Each structure stands twice: as structure tokens, then as C-alpha cells.
Structure 1
Amino acid sequence: MPSANPDPSPAPWPDGLRFAFGTLTVLPVRVTRWDREAARGGMLCAPLAGLLVGGCAAALGGLLLFLGAGPLLAAVATAAVPAALTRGLHLDGLADTADGLGSGKPAEDALRIMKQSDIGPFGVLTLLFVLLAQVAALAQAYGDSWARGLLAAVVSATAARLALTLAARRGVPAARPEGLGAAVAGVVPTGGALAVAAGVVAAAGAGGAFFGAYDIARAALAVLAAVTAAELLLRHCTRRLGGVTGDVFGGLAETAATTALVVLCLGR
């Protein structure tokens, strides 16, 4: 069981990368360490896992466009790749979080609802509208140009994992003593989380530079809006549930991804 106190020693980057890709993707990466030091490195590397997921999503969407498919089909395929590469865990977490919060019950009962294997009406409606928003935004991006669609896929997936890095910062408690939420809650130094966030914002802006000055600002703003929306949800979950869980992390990722996609398709 991981120690309850964060270890201030430097993050083990090889172990951190294995932790990030082994827990945040379905890639056959063996997680060799499950302590808080490895978890810290893993959560700091989370945007790299998002970059890979987004790259795979963009590759499939671009391939379909190259083969003659329309923007809508490319958008559906692009939205499906992150779900496939995470075994749907983030979407499942979003649905469970919606059911728990939507129940209006005290924290203990809400957490119990979130652990159940079935999905309630709040979860179903949330999944429906989130996936519709993602596909609609991606279809609009692909409709503008294949390159804008690829950028949207990569930026949204990376921003989604950046939200996890920020949610794992010091001071954010776990709602349960076990599970992935407890393993990563509070492991990331605040300064390290902010440094990673600055790097992702800068990288997104650099990607937007291929389309002009306006797109530099829009891509950077998409990441900032994504993590802001995730932060609002994180604070609400912390108040309602007493902290974070693995489901909450999934909900944060999908919230951030959807927000980034919406911002990227505005103002055209």
C-alpha cells in the first residue's frame, strides 16, 4: 500500500513514464512500481500519454479523410480512439461521477452509488451530451480543414491528461483510502503541476501557429479553458465527496477534453 506521506525525493522518470502509460492507456506497459514516488512521476507525465492518445486519434481521423470519408465519420472515429485506448474508463468515470453528484445524497451514499457497476439516468444523459459535443466540435474542425481537426484531437487529449496532473497536486485529498484516486491524490508538487501546465499551454500555442496568430491564442486558450472547467468540477467534487476518486479523475479528463474541443471550434 502506498505511503500516506508524499516523498519529496525526485520523481523516477522511467518508472513515472511506465506508471503514466500503464495506468492511463491500454498499452502493454508493465507498471513496476506502485508507490507514491512513481505515482508522482506518472502524473507529471500524464500529458505525454495524452499526446500519444491524441496522436492516434488524429491519425485515424486523418486516414479516413484521406480515404474519402466525410468530416462527421472522421469525427466519430477520432472521438472513439481515446475511449478505446482507455477501455472507456474515463467515460465510465464521468458517468459514475454524474450519478453520484446528481443523486444529491451525502458523500458516503454518493460514493457508494459511484462504485456500483450500473449507470443511472444522470450518467446516461451526461455521456450522451458529452459525446455529442465532442463529435460535433471535431466534425466542425475537420470541416474547416483536415489539419485543424488533427490539431483539435491532439490538443484535447493532451489537455484532458493535464487536468489529471493538476488534480493530483498537493492539497487535494482522496475521498477513499483505496483505489487509483488514493494512490495519486496529492502526489504532485504544486510548482511541478504548474510548470507542466505552462509547457502544455505553450505547446498548444505552437501547434496553433501553423494557422496564424489568432489560432495561437485560441489553442492556448482552449487548454486554459479546459483546465479551468476541470478545476471547477474538481472543487465541486471535493466539497461534495470529500476528495477525489478514480471516477472523478475520469470525469475531469472528459470535461477538459470536451471544453477544449468546444473552444477550438468557436470564433471561426
Structure 2
Amino acid sequence: MPDPSSASAPSSPAPPAALHGLRFAFGTLTVLPVRVGRWDRAAARGGMLCAPLAGLVAGLAAAAAGLLLLFLGSGPLLAAVAGAAVPAALTRGLHLDGLADTADGLGSGKPAEDALRVMKQSDIGPFGVITLLLVLLAQVAALAQCYAGSWARGALAAVVSATAARLALTLAARRGVPAARPEGLGAAVAGVVPVAGAVAVALAGTLAAGAAGAAFGPYPALRAAGAVLAALAAAELLLRHCVRRFGGITGDVFGGLAETAATCALVVLSLG
């Protein structure tokens, strides 16, 4: 009789494609302990389509930190600092680092190849430092204004801004947007998302933000949806400028787009 122990164990079914996309999104856009099982174009496509979900989780964590501090008796300013710090911590500061590197590359005024070399350097130049300072100040000031209005408005702003930041990445990964380098995250995700899919996700995110804002009235609904649209418009302007200057997108540019979209969304949400 054959030895049963020598028989090969039945192989477990492969995870569905959607699960690979979720793993890609959370494994590359957050520090959560998610293993990326596949690194091909199909997984990257699913990951970039799921990017807003990673933003939603980051936004909920930021809102939870801010609300906890308010519950413990802190003021709106400290809650806003926590709201800005948590998304940065959940990305190990990679988006902020990308923003600084992109600012240094754009501010260098050098040709594309030299500017990309500047962006790859480990240090941060004066353009990057100034940009980081102003962006973080704007995020904290806008979020503090929202929390000063009410705890619910502040929490909504934290969630909407983080989600809009990742929506900008979905649109930036659409077909027709080239990679500036043949390697790196930019090359892995450049052009993987169909234009129709990117637009559909952006519309869904905008409607979801409006629906969340509708819990507080018609004007907050319009403001939340408008914040997402303004964030995507600002990120699109930066994207097009980077493509002209660098010849395409890089991982640093993705970080810059995310922080630009988040900041713009917060500013709009703080108005009124």
C-alpha cells in the first residue's frame, strides 16, 4: 500500500484577484502588516483602485486619535496635530518625504535627468524643507479650524482628506501617464488603471464624501464633495507639471500628490 504521508497535500486555492489588490494597496500605502503576495501589473491595478480604502482606514485612525484627545480634555489644536501626525505615521512619512523630494526636484530648475537625480538624494534641500513646513502648518491650521467648529466636523475632515489623498493616487496611475524612471514604485503603478475605472472611483469617492457630509446638512454635503473635487484638481495640476518637468511620475511624485490633495481638501473643509 502507498504511504499516506508521501501523498502530496491538496493545494490551497489561490486568493482572488481582489484580495491581491487590497494587499497591494495596504502593503504599499500603509505600514500595516500586510504581505504583498504579487507585484505584477494586475495586482498593481487592483491596488491603485483600492487605494482610497487605505486612505479611509488612515483617516479613521486620524479621526480616532483627534477625538480621543478631545475626550481627554485637549483643545482643537492638539487634536489637529494628532490628525496630521497619524496619517504620516501610517506611511512612515513616505508621502511627506516624497513631497519634499518633489519640491527639491521642481525647485532645482535643472533638466529632467538632473532633477530626478536631485530627488533620489537622501538629504532634503531648502525647497523641500520650506514646502514641508508650509504644508504641515496648513494641514494643522485647517484641521484645528474644523475641530473648533465641532468634533464631528473635525473627524469628517480627517477622514475625507485622507481618502481624497489616495483618490489622487488612483487618478495618477491611470493609463496615459508615463513613468519617469524604469524602476521603483512609480514604474510599477504607472498606467495600470483604466481611465474609466479611475474616473468611476473618483466619482464614487466624491459622492461618498458628500453623503457623509449630508449627515450635517446640505451645505456640509456640498462642502465635503467640493473638497474632494478641489483636492483632485490640485493634484492633477501638480501631476501634469511633474510629467512635463520629469517626463513622467515617480514614487516621490505620488507622495507629493497625496499630500497636496490632503492639504487642499482640509483647506476647503475649514472654510465657512
TM-score interval for Structure 1 and Structure 2 normalised by the shorter chain = over 0.9
Distance 2:248 2:119 in 1: 13
| Match of residue 131 from structure 2 | 126
**Deviations for 1:118-151, whole angstroms, at most 9, x for unmatched residues?**
0000000000000000000000000000000000
Structure 1, unpaired ranges of 5+: 1-10
**Structure 2 counterpart of 1:189, one-letter code:** P
Deviation string 1:162-202 (CA, Å, 9 cap, x unpaired) is: 00000000000000000000000000000000000011000
Aligned counterpart in structure 2 of residue 214 of structure 1, from 211, 219, 230: 219
What's 2:29 paired with? 24
Which residue of structure 2 aligns with residue 162 of structure 1?
A: 167
Report the secondary structure of 1:29's partner residue.
coil
- Shift, 1:12, TM fit: 1.8
Match of 1:96 among 91, 94, 101: 101
TM-score normalised by structure 2 residue count = 0.94
Equivalence for 2:63:
58
After TM superposition, which residue ranges in structure 1, 4 or more long, deviate above 4 angstroms? Answer: none
Instruction: Indicate whether 1:80 and 2:85 are aligned.
Output: yes
Gaps of 5+ in 2: 1-15
Q: Deviation string for 1:209-242 (max 9, x for gaps)?
A: 1111011111000000000000000000000000
Counterpart amino acid of residue 170 in structure 2: T
- TM-score where L is the length of structure 1: 0.95
Matched, 1:229 2:234: yes
Indicate the percent of aligned positions where both proteins have the same amino acid: 82
Greater Rg over alpha carbons, structure: 2
User: Which AA in structure 1 matches 2:179?
Assistant: A
One-letter code aligned to 1:24 = L
1:114 pairs with 2:119:
yes
Q: Does 1:172 align with 2:203?
A: no
1:46 matched to 2:51? yes
Give me the whole-angstrom Cα distance separating, in 2, the residues matched to 1:64 and 1:132.
19
Number of residue pairs matched by the alignment: 257
In 1: Cα distance, 2:258 partner to 2:17 partner: 24
Q: Distance in 2 between matches of 1:117 and 1:82?
A: 22
